[in-house]
């Protein structure tokens, strides 16, 4: 896999000793010396992630709310207060997930969307295909950088670095809300199971903020820690836990689908047919009962019957155990085994998330 795209922070990453790897066509830091220490920094203090590769898209027009009501499986009618955010999937007509994303309501003529890096081109193409019927403009904001600051002390360390007006507004934010000041945008959102901010700002100001955060004691973190943190938090990863061949109902994301009322969103009919037919695969959390490592695509068995697979798996630094997410047949039993190198090892089914706000949420 080649990496032909670089974020505005790439030179700084190398200066700080990052190990760089190709990721979805981008050159990204996987760690700065110790993935485990970076993971613990986020759970116990504060860490920051370069997420400039993700894409901000501004959607504007008098009918932008109606557009998003048609486009998304979750219902933007829930967004009543400016700055409020909503997590949703954007679906194909057959119910497959084009992408999972966050959308922010800024005012009745402006919503802001943040989409995944690897799906940017198809997302923008899909948005632009659907937008003309609603006279909505689709504006990718490639001029913005983005830094995620996460951890129990993240907000306290980030707030002093903001302009006074934004600092006051950001300090007052409730989770899943955002504030703006000029070209700066701060959302109290994240992908780690910890509190913190996702800060969008002009690209040419991003390096200065990264250095100021580092000077304030916020630890730079790479893709490795980001993955173990989101796995512990039970957060789906596009292309592993769902994709265009998987509906949100089969990806543990039924809670993001709003079927109340008669809202006609893309993919609704397919989801209703799937629900009526029954037999929807279950999406579960699992812990390996013993030594070993869980990885995506390992097969799962109920006795001698293959019933599913691990979709995301890895070692949990917080729990010191191998954990995973899995999609299994609706009638799979409680006693499951995973096949690792020709051996079938027992799994313990648990309710996700595994960890949230630094605390283990499962009992073994």
Rounded-to-integer distance, Cα 144 and Cα 158, Å: 18
Residue 36 phi/psi, 5-degree rounding, is: -65, -45
**pTM (2 d.p.):** 0.97
Q: Which domains does the chain have, with CATH numbers?
A: 5-50+143-232 (3.30.1360.120), 281-360 (2.40.30.110)
DSSP state of 72: B
Chain mean position to CA 15: 27
Give the C-alpha distances (Å, rounded to integers) separating 119 from 35, 53, 249: 26, 11, 20
Question: Residue 266: what pLDDT?
Answer: 98
Letter string b/e over residues 60-76, b meaning 16 or more CB atoms within 10 A of that residue's CB = bbebbbebbbbbbbbbb
The edge-to-edge listing of strands for the beta sheet with 97-107 is 85-91, 97-107, 110-115, 55-60, 137-140
**Contact of 98 with 116, CB cutoff 8 Å:** no
What is the model's pLDDT at position 355? 98
φ and ψ at residue 161, rounded to 5 degrees: -90, 0
Give SS3 for 22. Answer: strand
Q: So what's the pLDDT on residue 2?
A: 55
Contact 248, 73 (CB under 8 A): yes
Q: Say how far apart CA 15 and CA 32 lie, in whole Å.
A: 10
In tens digits, what is the pLDDT along the chain, a chain of 364 residues?
456 799 999 999 999 999 999 998 999 999 999 999 999 999 999 999 999 999 999 999 999 999 999 999 999 999 999 999 999 999 999 999 999 999 999 999 999 999 999 999 999 999 999 999 999 999 999 999 999 999 999 999 999 999 999 999 999 999 999 999 999 999 999 999 999 999 999 999 999 999 999 999 999 999 999 999 999 999 999 999 999 999 999 999 999 999 998 999 999 999 999 999 999 999 999 999 999 999 999 999 999 999 999 999 999 999 999 999 999 999 999 999 999 999 999 999 999 999 999 999 998 7
Structure tokens at 160: 């002093």
* Residues in Cβ contact with 16 at an 8 Å cutoff, skipping those fewer than 6 apart: 32, 214, 220
Nearest partner of 99 among 224, 253, 214, 234, judged by Cα: 253
Whole-number pLDDT of residue 363: 84
- pLDDT score recorded for residue 24: 85
268: left (phi over 0), alpha (psi -120 to 50) or beta: alpha
Predicted pLDDT of residue 346: 98
Q: Measure the N-to-C terminal CA separation of the chain; round to a whole number of Å.
A: 39
Q: Are 20 and 14 in contact (CB under 8 A)?
A: yes
User: Tell me, what's the pLDDT at 1?
Assistant: 45
DSSP one-letter code for 357: T
């Amino acid at each position: 896999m080649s990496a032909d795209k670089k974020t505005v922070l790439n030179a700084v990453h190398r200066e700080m000793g990052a190990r760089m790897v190709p990721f979805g066509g981008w050159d990204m830091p996987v760690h700065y010396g110790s993935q485990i220490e970076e993971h613990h920094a986020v759970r116990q203090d504060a860490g920051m992630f370069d997420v400039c590769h993700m894409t901000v898209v501004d959607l504007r027009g008098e009918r932008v709310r109606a557009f998003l009501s048609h486009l998304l499986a979750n219902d933007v009618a829930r967004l009543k207060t400016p700055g409020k955010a909503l997590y949703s999937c954007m679906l194909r007509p057959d119910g497959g997930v084009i992408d999972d994303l966050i959308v922010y309501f800024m005012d009745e003529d402006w919503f802001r969307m943040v989409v995944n890096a690897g799906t940017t081109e198809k997302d923008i193409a899909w948005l632009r295909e659907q937008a003309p019927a609603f006279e909505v403009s689709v504006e990718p904001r490639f001029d913005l950088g983005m830094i995620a600051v996460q951890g129990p002390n993240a907000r306290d360390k980030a707030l002093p670095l903001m302009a006074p007006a934004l600092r006051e507004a950001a300090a007052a934010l409730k989770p899943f809300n955002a504030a703006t000041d000029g070209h700066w945008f701060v959302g109290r959102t994240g992908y780690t199971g910890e509190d913190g901010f996702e800060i969008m700002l002009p690209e040419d100001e991003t390096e200065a903020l990264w250095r100021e955060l580092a000077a304030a004691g916020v630890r730079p973190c790479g893709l490795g820690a980001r993955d173990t943190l989101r796995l512990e938090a039970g957060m789906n990863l596009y292309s592993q836990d769902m994709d265009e061949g998987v509906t949100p109902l089969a990806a543990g994301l039924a809670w993001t689908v709003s079927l109340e009322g008669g809202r006609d969103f893309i993919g609704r009919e397919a989801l209703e047919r799937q629900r009526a037919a029954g037999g929807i695969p279950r999406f579960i959390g699992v812990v390996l009962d013993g030594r070993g490592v869980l990885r995506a695509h390992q097969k799962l068995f109920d006795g001698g019957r293959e019933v599913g697979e691990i979709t995301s798996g890895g070692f949990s630094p917080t729990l010191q155990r191998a954990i995973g997410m899995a999609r299994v047949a609706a009638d799979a039993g409680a006693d499951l085994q995973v096949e690792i190198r020709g051996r079938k090892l027992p799994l313990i089914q648990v309710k996700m998330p595994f960890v949230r706000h630094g605390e283990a949420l499962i009992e073994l």
